[in-house]
Amino acid sequence: MKSALFVDFDNVYSGLRKLDPAMADQFAQKPQRWMQWLVASLGLPEHSPESARRRVLVRRCYLNPQVYQRFRPSFNLAGFEIIDCPSLTSEGKTSTDIHMVLDIIDLLQHEAHYDEFIVFSADADFTPVLRKLRRWDRRTTVLAIGFPSAAYRASADLLIDQDLFVRDALGFREEESGASEPAPVAAPALATADIVRAARELIRRKVEESVGPVSLSHLASTILRDVEGVDATSWAGFGSFRQLVDEARFAPLVVSWEGGGVIFDPARHAKPEPAARKVKVEDEVNDVTRLIRTEVEASAQPVPCARIAQLITSRHGAIAKDWNGLGSFRKMVEGLNLAPIKVDWAGAGGRMYDPARHRLTAPNGAKTNGSAMPDWGKDADLLPIASQIHDVTNAPLWSPADYQNLFRMLAEDLAAQPFDLAETGKRVRDRIRAQGRPINRQNVNWILQGLLFRGHVFGRGEDDSTTLARKCADNIKSLCLREQMVIDSVVDAAIMRWIVGGSD
């Protein structure tokens, strides 16, 4: 699939910097890393040909040289054309958006016929362009850091999840547990570079010890078992076992992904002959389906998808290396016939369950398949407007009591330790789970990121629970107004009561 990438550098960099300056610098200094992820690991937009592979033929980065000149060499090394967009006004306004629009329209009619247009920007001004591309039957993929408008999100065929990009493309990985109890204390984990080095050394050692080509699926299972710090969902920040292998330099060893995949030393091993797989793909997919059914049927409660993914990787490595050609675990699962088993993706990492046997508790009121709306008791009258706001803005559909509890926990944590987006969110989530309240990390991040994008600066004496709650309410009102919701006195009072716990 022929793709063209357009990066509004100022927009993405400034958005990431509000979250964490280290994330922004990683984006600016290591474009080769996230470009490799974009090409090899990111799924394709809807309605793309099943066998298509992304080829980014055009890479254009639009930046203000007066401010970001120091990042120019990094993008040159990653093969980008750099379009200088200096400030045109005293307020720092640049011509980036008009340059991008003109270039997109120009390539839309190019004889190469680009199938996919990838836009890195949260600027809703690009909404009409996305709609025009759709009318011309082109696929659109968008990365928007922050809170993109509903119209902008709906106009894209694929919206890259911000947390996924930070975690997998930039390498800011975090361990996410689906269990509600605190994780057991463990020995300090190895640094990511050490983990990768250990995995690749294991591969070399196995090839040296073998009298013939070594199966890559067997190596994947061995690494998961023997290398501490590697899991089937992250692969040490590479997103997949294949990516971890492809980015290494194993020469003179040769890697072949045909027929399930092998790695061999051409000086000692005979070149493997192309052959049909011993097990037909259909049969192996059926085995995966049976594995999932067996695991869910044997469990007294919903099964975390992370556990299912690890089981599939260890037992069906050939399927797991590219998730049966679909690129992600979720896409593969959604293509399986698992009825009556259902999958709830709202929880942390997802859960599989049988509606006839398992009671699926929604994470603090989030809607899930087969789950009833939450019981808000005396605040039940707020539920209709809260649900509408949740649908429009993605604000967590928590009860007022849950919001107040979160802000209390957050204020207590900030009083004891300095703010860090990743660590603060993790500690607050774990403390709330220890209370027996279900909560997922994604919703905690929504609150923290909303405060950062509203300009709140942690550590300046304004981190009490009431101030944090009011600023969160202001963020929600701002997002509602952007989506053209009418905020009259009744709605305003309802938002304040829902988020803050009282009227303004």
Residues pairing with 303 in the sheet: 352
Assigned token pair, 474: 């202001």
Q: Between β-strands 116-120 and 139-143, what pairing exists: parallel, antiparallel or unpaired? A: parallel
Mean pLDDT score, 99-125: 93
Query: How are strands ordered across the β-sheet holding 2-8?
Result: 81-84, 55-63, 2-8, 116-120, 139-143, 158-160
Pick the CATH number of 2-169 from 3.40.50.1010, 3.40.50.920, 1.10.357.10, 3.90.79.10: 3.40.50.1010
pLDDT band for position 303 (cuts 50, 70, 90): confident
DSSP string, 49-73: -TT---EEEEEEEEE-HHHHGGGHH
Query: Could you give the dihedral angle defined by the CA atoms of residues 489, 490, 493 and 497, in that order, rounded to the nearest 10 degrees?
Result: -170
Does residue 99 have a pLDDT over 80?
yes
Type of residue at 71: F
Confidence at residue 231, expressed as pLDDT on a 0 to 100 scale: 66
pLDDT band for position 274 (cuts 50, 70, 90): low
Confidence at residue 50, expressed as pLDDT on a 0 to 100 scale: 66
pLDDT band for position 457 (cuts 50, 70, 90): very high
**Percent of the chain at pLDDT exceeding 90:** 30
Question: Which is more confidently placed, 33 or 231?
Answer: 33
Assigned token pair, 68: 């970001």
Q: How far is CA 434 from the centre of its chain?
A: 26
Mean pLDDT score, 153-171: 88
Each residue's pLDDT tens digit, 166-201: 988 898 765 444 433 333 333 333 456 677 888 888
Question: Which is more confidently placed, 383 or 311?
Answer: 383
**Residues, the chain:** 504
- Radius of gyration of the CA atoms of the chain, in A: 24
Alpha-carbon span 121 to 98, nearest angstrom: 13
pLDDT band for position 3 (cuts 50, 70, 90): very high
Domain ranges, ordered by start, for the chain: 2-169, 192-264, 281-360, 377-499
Confidence at residue 12, expressed as pLDDT on a 0 to 100 scale: 94
Q: What is the mean pLDDT of the chain?
A: 82
